[in-house]
């Protein structure tokens, strides 16, 4: 699986995971303290989709969920729908 979206080029970024202990001051404690820090990767939510290009070609691409929700891609129709489209084209 590639690490980035093929539409928006979103890629994994580094970050830090914190381990905290103690009770928050708002809850009557002396405050939360950081007991450990660990480096980690925040990865994009990539899905492999069949996409139809404007010229009618269908192929699979890795796309992030944000691009899917925003409508930046056109999902390929199901097999039965594609067969019907091809039959219509052939009849013309």
Query: Does the CA dihedral 70-75-81-85 come out positive or negative?
Result: positive
**Using CA atoms, how far apart are residues 31 and 50, in angstroms rounded to an integer?**
50
Banded pLDDT at 58 (limits 50, 70, 90): confident
65 vs 77 pLDDT, higher one: 65
1 has pLDDT over 70: no
């Amino acid at each position: 699986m590639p690490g980035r979206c093929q539409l928006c080029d979103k890629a994994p970024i580094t970050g830090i995971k914190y381990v905290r202990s103690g009770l928050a001051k708002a809850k009557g404690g002396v405050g939360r303290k950081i007991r450990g820090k660990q480096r980690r990767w925040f990865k994009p939510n990539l899905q492999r989709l069949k996409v139809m290009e404007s010229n009618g070609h269908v192929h699979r691409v890795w796309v992030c969920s944000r691009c899917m929700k925003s409508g930046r891609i056109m999902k390929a129709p199901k097999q039965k729908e594609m067969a019907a489209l091809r039959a219509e084209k052939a009849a013309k």
